[in-house]
């Protein structure tokens, strides 16, 4: 091969790789989307026991559900009831993926607890509704269960999803 041919092949290769990188960056949603950020922030404060801050993320209907169904009307009490004691303390939550639901979002998250199956991945589903341009509310959640549980698949549309609220 001549130097010119090698240069053309190398340039074409770099263009293709660059296009793949740009397409991946463009089409891969990230946690900076306000709806995704709201979902992550909600689970982070709720699972950490900061109920006063967590309640500000809830829709009126979900807030009423929490008041009626969670011990002492606390979101953290519901979450604590879902999590087995052997998993230990909550550590963190990260964005996994999201699918649009009109202007709203079905957001899947992965939580990590201290040990056991909780450390290997806890699947969490949150439905985020748009209140205004940059204001998002949580109106539904499910999961808070080990990701190895088949019931944690497609929780947005799965009537068998664990720990659904409401």
Provide the pLDDT for residue 32.
Answer: 72
Provide the pLDDT for residue 133.
Answer: 81
Provide the pLDDT for residue 98.
Answer: 95
The percent of residues above 90 in pLDDT, for the chain, comes to 75
Provide the pLDDT for residue 12.
Answer: 75
User: What pLDDT digit, counting tens, does each position of 107-122 carry?
Assistant: 999 999 999 988 889 9
Q: What is the torsional sign of CA 112, 118, 119, 122?
A: negative
Q: Which residue has the tokens 């689970």?
A: 43
d(CA 166, CA 162) in angstroms, rounded, equals: 12
CA distances from 158 to 10, 48, 118, 124 (A): 48, 27, 22, 13
- Asked whether the predicted pLDDT for residue 18 surpasses 80, the reply is no
d(CA 21, CA 113) in angstroms, rounded, equals: 33
Provide the pLDDT for residue 100.
Answer: 95
User: What pLDDT digit, counting tens, does each position of 35-80 carry?
Assistant: 999 999 999 999 999 999 999 999 999 999 999 999 999 999 999 9
- Asked whether the predicted pLDDT for residue 2 surpasses 70, the reply is yes
Extract the runs of DSSP E, i.e. beta strands, from the chain: 90-101, 104-113, 122-132, 135-146
Query: Where does the pLDDT of residue 25 fall: very low under 50, low under 70, confident under 90, or very high at 90 and above?
Result: low
- Asked whether the predicted pLDDT for residue 30 surpasses 60, the reply is no
């Amino acid at each position: 091969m001549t130097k010119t041919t090698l240069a053309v092949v190398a340039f074409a290769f770099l263009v293709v790789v660059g296009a793949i990188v740009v397409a991946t960056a463009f089409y891969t949603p990230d946690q900076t989307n306000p709806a995704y950020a709201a979902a992550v922030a909600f689970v982070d404060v709720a699972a950490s026991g900061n109920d006063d801050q967590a309640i500000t993320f809830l829709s009126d209907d979900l807030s009423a559900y929490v008041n009626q169904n969670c011990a002492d009307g606390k979101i953290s009490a519901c979450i604590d009831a879902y999590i087995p004691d052997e998993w230990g303390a909550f550590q963190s939550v990260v964005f996994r993926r999201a699918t649009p639901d009109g202007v709203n979002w079905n957001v899947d998250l992965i939580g990590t607890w201290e040990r056991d199956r909780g450390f290997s991945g806890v699947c969490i589903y949150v439905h985020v509704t748009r209140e205004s341009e940059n204001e998002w509310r949580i109106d539904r959640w499910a999961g808070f269960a080990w990701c190895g549980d088949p019931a944690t698949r497609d929780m947005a549309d799965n009537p068998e999803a664990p720990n659904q609220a409401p």
